[in-house]
Structure 1
């Protein structure tokens, strides 16, 4: 007997794809982008992210390789600029170079962790993003707080 079977291909329609847990409606993704700073602050303190919500979409973006690379680049640029190798004139908020110099080893540990293939937690990523965005925080010249402590907390949450 010869095998005369016909190959069957599966035709998956977009409707079938929407039931997948990885599919996020465009409106939900847009809300997650618009409210990113607010969502970062919520996640940094441990707010839960219900499945299918804009907060869950933000969590998915935070833990993506693209976002991990963006945070890594920002941390490396801060260390480079604090060493005096950055631009002479900049419109950015001035850095607190003594704090950064004291936390340089910890920043290196964080960048290595972000480059590792292991998954990261959204809470740790949110803490890093809040730290980077807070112009009144310990990363910047006129800010307050304990940079080493905040970086250590973020690393522990990653």
Structure 2
């Protein structure tokens, strides 16, 4: 056997999840802080900073992977795509969209929304990245923003 070969018997075949202890539920203060500092927490989660059990970041991560949050983000992406195709409101108080970027990333938006509606779990990191794309008024989704929308959506999809 070569030095870099691993015998099949040495590899684990199953994962024992019954021994995992449940995460402690974040306190009401942690949940409130998670809501108030959502933007800051999104930035931390998007780059992979680990959350301490029971912290505001852990509360925010739990909310990010919830079904309600998945549906909200998918709906926001679909609305932006529809508005870019001219099916949205003519007058709005929202930040104007960057129509060429959204149109060019249409297939990526569809892939992300399909992933969000799929029954499998999603990662908090990918969800935080999607929230950043939607909330950054200077980003590639909005008229005067900069960056590569297709690339950012692709990175978020890979992180999901």
Match of 1:55 in 2: 57
Kept in 1, the 8 Å contact 2:31–2:56? The answer is yes
Please give the TM-score of this superposition, normalised by the length of structure 2.
0.85
Cα offset for 1:45?
Answer: 1.3
- Count residues with an aligned counterpart: 140
Q: Which runs of 5+ in 1 are unaligned?
A: 1-18
Cα offset for 1:21?
Answer: 2.5
The counterpart of 1:45, out of the listed 8, 30, 47, is: 47
Residue by residue over 1:90-114, the C-alpha shift from the partner in whole angstroms, topping out at 9 and shown as x without a partner, is 1111101110011000000000000
Q: Which has more radius of gyration?
A: 1
Q: Which runs of 5+ in 2 are unaligned?
A: 1-20
> Aligned to 1:92, what secondary structure does the other structure show?
coil
Distance 1:22 1:81, change over 3 A: farther
Match of 1:89 in 2: 91
Cα offset for 1:25?
Answer: 1.3
Matches within 5 A, 1:55-134: 55-134=57-136
Please give the TM-score of this superposition, normalised by the length of structure 1.
0.86
C-alpha separation between the residues in 2 aligned to 1:37 and 1:133?
Answer: 8
